[in-house]
Amino acid sequence: MAGEDTDVFFRARNRTLDVFPEEKELQWKSPFYFVQGADPQFGLMKAWSVGDCENGGDEWEEEMKLTQQAVQAINKLSPKPKFFVLCGDLIHAMPGTQWRSNQIKDLKEILKAVDKEIPLVFVSGNHDLGNVPTSETIAEYCQTWGDDYFSFWVGGVLFLVLNSQLYADSSKCLNLKQAQDQWLDTQLAIAKQKMCKHAIVFQHIPLFLKNVSEEDDYFNLSKPVRQELVDKFTKAGIKAVFSGHYHRNAGGLCKDLDMVVSSAIGCQLGEDTHGLRVVVVTAEKIVHRYYSLNKLSNEGIEKELMDMIKKE
């Protein structure tokens, strides 16, 4: 790993984040919050505008400005969020394509400005790994951004980061899918034993967009995979799954599981605006609100959420 990158980002290694030492984070202390973003996807806005999502992403100045605005908004927040998680499609250029290295370089340069006291949590998306990932594309991602799946604890809450592309199409890396499955079962057993105050999942592709029985779509996981994961998550007591990929806000409930789909920092495909989601974790519940970048930059977090964070 290049020394410069290692100094800038806390990366997931050995399936965890060392910035949150487990022995210090296992116990619930008090309410806290984190910020979720998704799909900065440098290059998509140009590609979408010209109608060529395969080859058209040769400009990403607009995404750079939006990501800089997101970073500035997060840095102004007080108290500071526990972390900032980016739920995949960090860039638009697929593995092995023309603009990839420059998009990665520019995104890293902007993310270096995130307050050093706010760790970054990276989640892999289909554009980061390829729609049909291979051991090589996953290895490249891990070298660039850290492990493709891992867990970490913050204040008694267990967070699981998944590589959802292994659930979308693992035909070229079945052994890696099996390894994640085994790892996930172990993590869910910990959650089920109620050793945590809450358990929360991050992944790029949503389980579903509105309800668990909806038809298969580019933007959700297939019904058999979806049902298997929903069953596992609900049995283990997972409270929420946060995702991106849809470039619109969506989501719904399945039993006690909150499927949260957040729109993009970058290209919008619906009526939402470029934004971030603020997620407050209290002893009793998980509350989240989506903010436009402008609103979060200019007004910060509303009093109702701030009061929940400040409660002892």
- In this prediction, residue 50 carries a pLDDT of 85
pLDDT score of 10: 83
pLDDT at position 4: 42
The answer to whether 13 and 139 are in contact (CB under 8 A) is no
Q: What are phi and psi of 136, to 5 degrees?
A: -70, -45
Place of tokens 């010209």: 50
Q: 33 by DSSP, 3-state: which?
A: strand
The answer to whether residue 215 scores a pLDDT higher than 60 is yes
* Averaged pLDDT for residues 225-231: 98
pTM of the model: 0.96
Q: pLDDT at position 8, please?
A: 64
Q: Which helix (H) or strand (E) holds 243?
A: strand 240-243
CA distance 49 to 260: 27
pLDDT digits (tens, 9 = 90+) for 3-33: 344 446 789 999 999 999 999 999 999 999 9
Domains of the chain (ranges; CATH) run 22-310 (3.60.21.10)
Span 79-130, pLDDT tens digits: 999 999 999 999 999 999 999 999 999 999 999 999 999 999 999 999 999 9
